[in-house]
Each structure stands twice: as C-alpha cells, then as structure tokens.
Amino acid sequence: MKYLLDTNVVSDARKQNRPGLNAWISAQPRADLAISVVVLLEIERGILRVERRDPAAGEHLRAWLMSQVKPAFAGSILTIDDQVARSAAQLHVPDPMPEMDALIAATALVHDLTLVTRNTKDFQHAGVSLLDTGTL
C-alpha cells in the first residue's frame, strides 16, 4: 500500500464530478490504495443521516457502500490498533485536532502511507505526507 484515501476522496469518487481524481484512482494499482475503518464510520454516519430524511437516497448510498466501497477495499481497510491510538493521541499535543482526522492521520503515519485528501489544511500539522486532490 502507498496511499490512504480520506473520506472526502471516496465520496468525491462516487460523485464522478472530479475527472482528474477518478483518473488518478483508476491509474493506481488496487493494492496501493487503502482506507481507514474511520472512513467507513464517517460514510455510515452520513448514510444514516440521509436515510432519516430521504429513505430512497439512503438506500442508494447504502447499496454503493456495500457493493462498491467494501468490495473495492476488501483486505485494505486499516483498523485502529494500539500504535494508531497512541499516534493519534500524540497528534493532540500541543494543539488538539478533530478525533476522526487524528485517527486517519495516525493510520497514515503508522503505515507509512501518503494521505490523499481534498482537506490538506486539516492535516497540515500532523506530519503526514499529503496528496492534495485539488491538484489532480
């Protein structure tokens, strides 16, 4: 693995409105791409919110998660272990950062991966290698 995809990258790829991003993802060997279990949490949380206000749209998003995201990253969904937890905790000192961002950044750091995100400013002080999808 070389790259850890942030939640916004997985979401943007689904929307198919960022041709450069989709081309970049397609050009990467599947074995080079991973996601954090935190990405699944954030996607699931978003689907649950959509389901409350628009059940049909929520069903569509859930089908995408189950039939595309999970199979595409089978074997490449990185979990939170002791090392990731410790690294995430260290990212809060001296300045706290949002928990989910800290866990995603820590996952990239522990596994020596480049974090692919549209929100580079959220991670700029984490010491993680970043690839800004805005440049693709």
> Domain span at residue 79?
3-135
Q: Is 54 annotated as a binding residue?
A: no
Supply the pLDDT for residue 16: 84
CB atoms within 10 A of CB 72: 14
Total number of domains constituting the chain:
1
**What tens digit of pLDDT does each residue of 110-135 get?**
999 999 999 999 999 999 999 999 89
pLDDT score, position 32: 98
Check residue 59 and give its pLDDT. 96
pLDDT at 136: 86
Average pLDDT over residues 69-86: 97
Q: Is 112 annotated as a binding residue?
A: no
Q: What token pair was written down for 91?
A: 């990212």
Give the mean model confidence (pLDDT) for residues 79-100: 96
Per-residue pLDDT at 106? 98
- Give DSSP secondary structure letters for the chain: --EEE-HHHHHHHHHT--HHHHHHHHHS-GGGEEEEHHHHHHHHHHHHHHHHH-HHHHHHHHHHIIIIIHHHTTT-EE---HHHHHHHHHTTSSS---HHHHHHHHHHHHTT-EEEES-GGGTTTTT--EEEGGG-
Compute the distance between CA of residue 79 and CA of residue 82 in angstroms, rounded to an integer: 10
Which residue(s) pair with 130 in the sheet? 115
For 17, residues 6+ apart whose C-beta sits below 8 A from its C-beta are none
CATH number at 112 reads: 3.40.50.1010
Provide the pairing of β-strand 114-117 with 77-78: unpaired
Q: What is the pLDDT of residue 17?
A: 83
Could you read off the pLDDT of 5-64 as tens digits, one per residue? Answer: 999 999 999 998 888 999 999 999 999 999 999 999 999 999 999 999 999 999 999 999
Helices 19-27 and 7-15 meet at what angle, rounded to 10?
110
pTM: 0.94
Q: How far apart are CA 117 and CA 107, in angstroms?
A: 14
